[in-house]
Amino acid sequence: MNPQAIIDGLISGSTIGLGAIGLTLTYSILRFANFTHGDFLAWGAYLTLTVAGVLGGLAAGLGAPLTPFSFGWGLPLAVLGGVVLTVALALGLDRVLFGRLRARGADAIIIVMASFGASMALRSLLEFIFTAKPAYFTKALQIAKPLGLGMRATPDQLLVIGLTAVLVLMLHLLVTHSAIGRAMRAVSENPALAGVFGVDVDKVVRVTWIIGASMACLAGVMAGLLVQIRPYMGFDLLLPLFAAAILGGIGSIPGAMLGGLIIGLTEAFAVQIIGAEWRAAISFIILVLVLMLRPQGLFGRKGA
């Protein structure tokens, strides 16, 4: 077995884990399986690309690569803009669609259906605006540096893994140690009761979308930086995202991250055995196994 699979798995697992955080939070707090979440990843990547294009037009120096990375100051700045726009997209969608259905007391499954329709519309809109042709943040080629034990990684890849670790730690502390984190946990336990006890449920909903959409945007940018940007990128990640969220246990941020890493690593190893064309089936198999053996997931409680 080629040890390089460990690095490859950690890298794609970071993206899946970050994406699954938003999914697991909306799932536990808003109580529906959000099929548009994959499209937030893709929109995040394209919005960041657009902002980078605008910035690049304003200041040429922003494009010069920051050694050892393949991108210049333009990208980190653009990501900030991309995150803000992706959050606006998520909040806007909640306002016109999900929030209205919630207010009407619609069944969770009706909201899932609406998210399925919105997902198709969002993805095809990206395809219309940017065409199906892949896009790239940078054209620079990076040489993978040896890490020992026969593993290699580019500086960009190592940055992605490190940044993911920092983000997940910060989010975990936020949810476990802050007032808003307590409020989020209260709402995920019982929204009606939390409201009675003075928790601002609307604020919790907003924070949930803000965290979920920001992480989705970052995950989309990472996937775009390491592979490429395509309108279908989020849709193709949807099954791994769901599998990671369910494997980790709905509502758990460390669980989503760990689920993502497990799926990334399993994919990377399985690709060597059964071939890359079956990659997308891995998350399905993991999903089915989790549902059969431990439907509450690794960090979930029974009856969730």
Partner 1 sequence: MEILAYAAFFLTVALTYAIMCLGLNVQWGQTGLFNVGIAGFVGIGAYVSAALTTPDVAERIGGFGLPIAVGWLAAMAAGGLLALAVGLLTLRMRSDYLAITTFGIAVALQLVFQNAESLTGGAFGMAFIPRPFAGLQGQAFAFNVINLALTAAVVLVCYLLLEHLLRSPWGRALRAVREDETAAQALGKNPVLLRIQAFALGGVIMALAGAVQAHFIGFIAPGNYLPMMTFQVWAMLIVGGSGNNRGAILGAVLVWAIWALSGALISEVFPADQQARAASLQIVAIGVMLCVILLWRPQGILPEVRSVSRHLGRRNKDR
Site residues for partner 1 per CB under 8 A: 32-33, 35, 97, 100-101, 104-110, 112-114, 116-125, 127-128, 131-132, 235, 238-239, 242-243, 246, 277-278, 280-281, 283-284, 287-288, 291-292, 295
Is residue 237 within 8 Å of 249, Cβ to Cβ? Answer: no
Least separation in angstroms between CB 284 and partner 1? 4
CB of 262 to partner 1, least distance (A): 16
CB of 120 to partner 1, least distance (A): 4
101 vs 258, beta carbon nearer partner 1: 101
Nearer to partner 1, 86 or 283 (CB): 283
Determine the Cα–Cα distance for residues 42 and 46; give it in Å rounded to an integer: 6
In the complex with partner 1, the residue whose CB is nearer, 76 or 295, is 295
Q: Which long-range contacts (CB under 8 A, 24 or more apart) does 121-130 make?
A: 122/36, 122/39, 122/42, 122/43, 123/39, 123/42, 123/231, 123/232, 123/234, 123/235, 124/231, 126/39, 126/42, 126/43, 126/46, 126/231, 127/231, 127/232, 129/46, 130/46, 130/231
The one-letter code for the residue type at 112 is V
CB of 291 to partner 1, least distance (A): 6
Q: Smallest gap, in angstroms, from Cβ of residue 300 to partner 1?
A: 11
Looking at the Cβ atoms of 247 and 253, the one nearer to partner 1 is 247
148 vs 275, beta carbon nearer partner 1: 275
The closest alpha carbon to 145, from 164, 160, 136, 158, belongs to: 158
